[in-house]
């Protein structure tokens, strides 16, 4: 029975793969979770062509795959389970669990190491999320993944039956958890306790790096929960979230030729060890500020244009020596600070030094209000801002330098 099962391994894997792929495609057409803007013909044709290429390269590079290594380890007595000789069912169950853990750790590594992230980001650069996204991997990543898998199988001494079960489960669940299908919410909540669901894994394909670097599991969800990488829902909801990477937004990047050369293009931003953990997709400290402000319900946008508009309004409102001192003060701040300015008042200024220096508070009060675009500001608002600056300087509270002379002209 076992020998017959192993002899039919290729047939079993191909049958399950084609069956699950066809079922997910039909389900996506009947009940999609999200509306797709990119034509399916463009994405499906290139993603499926990539699968054919990956399979051909893999077969040429590795005449013996994971099942063959497991059979050789069993015959030679290699590996942990062949040395311990536990009951077969125990070895099978533990092998499936440990192989899935290895895939989880490999996934985290491909996000954490910049050179490996360049290869893996092709999987994330898809502009939509459906079952063919689960097939979209760079050939070099496929080869490296196979090397890792063969090493783990040999080290564990996994039974060949366990390797076949794991391979079938991994292929089927990868197609399922990438599918654009609308599961009932109650079913999703229960199902994600034992396996990775499409809603759970869709978070991993968000354009926001802090969400991209979460939910690494392909088959079992337990590793994310145990190791602290689980994220239940995307910040913008499943219909409002943006899929892909900020770095690759052109539909031309979905073509096979562009996918193959993608690891050589641009910086390796967006990975787990990269500075860009904010909402913008890879931009370091400024993006982190935007993320923290968005989480608190405010809109904070460090804007050079808005900063200099405020400076000009403040300078125009101050006469004589006070204006000169304020201009000198803000000219020095403009060279070494980013200001987040609220046009509703000068007391909504928050400045910090550029380049990672010590954060310092602006002399003005740092209470933040939602920013409004300087382009839409009306002349009356600018006049009110100038009058507030003048009154504030008249109090002599040190907001914009020393108080002007008492005989200043009233606006």
Q: Are 393 and 404 in contact (CB under 8 A)?
A: yes
The answer to whether the pTM exceeds 0.85 is: no
In this structure, are 249 and 391 located in the same domain? Answer: no
Question: Shortest CA distance to 279 belongs to which of 271, 290, 265, 267?
Answer: 290
Task: Decide if 283 is inside a domain.
Answer: no
pLDDT of residue 93: 95
Q: Is pLDDT of 337 > 60?
A: no
In this structure, are 358 and 247 located in the same domain? Answer: no
Task: Decide if 229 is inside a domain.
Answer: yes
In this structure, are 247 and 328 located in the same domain? Answer: no
Query: How many other β-carbons are positioned within 10 Å of the β-carbon of residue 18?
Result: 10
Task: Decide if 271 is inside a domain.
Answer: no
In this structure, are 83 and 200 located in the same domain? Answer: yes
Task: Decide if 132 is inside a domain.
Answer: yes
Q: Which range has the top average pLDDT, 10-14, 165-169, 295-299, 322-326?
A: 165-169
Phi-psi sector, 228: left (phi>0), alpha (psi -120 to 50), beta = left
Mean pLDDT (whole number) for 68-90:
91
Q: Which one of 203, 238, 264 terminates a domain?
A: 264
Mean pLDDT (whole number) for 134-161:
94
* Model confidence pLDDT, tens digit, residues 272-282: 656 444 333 33
* Model confidence pLDDT, tens digit, residues 396-408: 444 444 545 555 5
Q: Is pLDDT of 349 > 50?
A: no
Q: How many domains does the chain have?
A: 2
In this structure, are 51 and 199 located in the same domain? Answer: yes
Task: Decide if 148 is inside a domain.
Answer: yes
Mean pLDDT (whole number) for 44-56:
94
In this structure, are 384 and 320 located in the same domain? Answer: yes
In this structure, are 316 and 209 located in the same domain? Answer: no
CA angle 73, 76, 78 (to 5 degrees): 55
The DSSP bridge partners found for residue 351 are 339
In this structure, are 69 and 210 located in the same domain? Answer: yes
In this structure, are 62 and 136 located in the same domain? Answer: yes
Domain region containing 124: 2-264
Question: Shortest CA distance to 232 belongs to which of 210, 199, 208?
Answer: 199
* Model confidence pLDDT, tens digit, residues 191-248: 999 999 999 999 999 999 999 999 999 899 999 999 999 999 999 999 999 999 998 9
Q: Which helix (H) or strand (E) holds 350?
A: strand 349-353
Mean pLDDT, the chain, whole residue set:
76
Please return the burial class of 388, using the count of CB atoms within 10 Å of its CB with bins 0-12, 13-18 and 19+: middle
End-to-end CA distance of the chain: 96
Task: Decide if 346 is inside a domain.
Answer: yes
Q: Is pLDDT of 358 > 60?
A: no
In this structure, are 215 and 325 located in the same domain? Answer: no
Mean pLDDT (whole number) for 39-57:
93
In this structure, are 228 and 175 located in the same domain? Answer: yes
In this structure, are 74 and 191 located in the same domain? Answer: yes
Task: Decide if 152 is inside a domain.
Answer: yes
Task: Decide if 206 is inside a domain.
Answer: yes
pLDDT of residue 2: 66
**Alpha-carbon gap, residue 280 to 303, rounded angstroms:** 15
Q: Is the pLDDT higher at 65 or at 93? A: 93
């Amino acid at each position: 029975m076992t020998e017959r099962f192993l002899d039919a391994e290729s047939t079993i894997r191909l049958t399950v793969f084609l069956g699950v792929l066809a079922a997910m495609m039909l389900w996506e057409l009947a009940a999609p979770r999200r509306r797709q803007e990119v034509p399916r013909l463009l994405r499906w044709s290139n993603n499926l062509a990539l699968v054919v290429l990956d399979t051909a390269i893999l077969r040429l590079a590795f005449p013996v795959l994971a099942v063959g290594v497991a059979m050789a380890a069993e015959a030679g007595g290699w590996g942990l389970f062949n040395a311990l000789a536990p009951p077969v069912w125990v070895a099978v169950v533990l092998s499936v669990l440990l192989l899935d853990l290895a895939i989880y750790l490999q996934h985290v590594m491909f996000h954490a190491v910049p050179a490996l992230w360049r290869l893996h980001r092709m999987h994330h650069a898809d502009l939509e999320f459906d079952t063919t996204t689960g097939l979209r991997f760079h050939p070099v990543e496929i080869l490296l993944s196979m090397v890792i898998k063969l090493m783990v199988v040999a080290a564990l001494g996994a039974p060949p039956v366990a390797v076949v079960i794991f391979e079938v489960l991994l292929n089927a669940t990868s197609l399922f958890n990438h599918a654009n299908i609308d599961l009932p919410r109650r079913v999703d909540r229960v199902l994600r306790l034992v396996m990775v669901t499409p809603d759970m894994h869709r978070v991993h394909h968000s354009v926001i790096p802090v969400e991209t670097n979460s939910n690494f599991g392909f088959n079992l969800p337990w590793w994310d929960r145990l190791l602290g990488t689980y994220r239940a829902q995307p910040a913008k909801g499943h219909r409002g979230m943006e899929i892909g990477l900020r770095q690759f937004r052109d539909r031309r990047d979905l073509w096979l030729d562009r996918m193959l050369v993608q690891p050589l293009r641009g910086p390796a931003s967006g990975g787990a060890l990269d500075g860009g953990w904010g909402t913008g997709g890879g931009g370091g400290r400024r993006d982190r500020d935007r993320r923290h402000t968005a989480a608190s319900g405010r809109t904070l946008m460090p804007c050079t244009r808005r900063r200099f508009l405020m400076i000009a309004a403040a300078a125009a409102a101050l006469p004589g020596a006070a204006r000169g001192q304020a201009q000198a003060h803000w000219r020095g701040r403009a060279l070494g600070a980013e200001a987040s300015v609220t046009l509703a008042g000068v007391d909504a200024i928050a400045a910090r030094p550029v380049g990672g220096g010590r954060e310092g508070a602006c002399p003005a009060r740092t209470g933040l209000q939602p920013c409004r675009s300087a382009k839409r500001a009306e002349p009356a608002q600018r006049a009110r801002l100038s009058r507030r600056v003048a009154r504030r300087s008249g109090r002599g509270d040190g907001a914009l330098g020393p108080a002007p002379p008492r005989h200043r002209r009233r606006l």
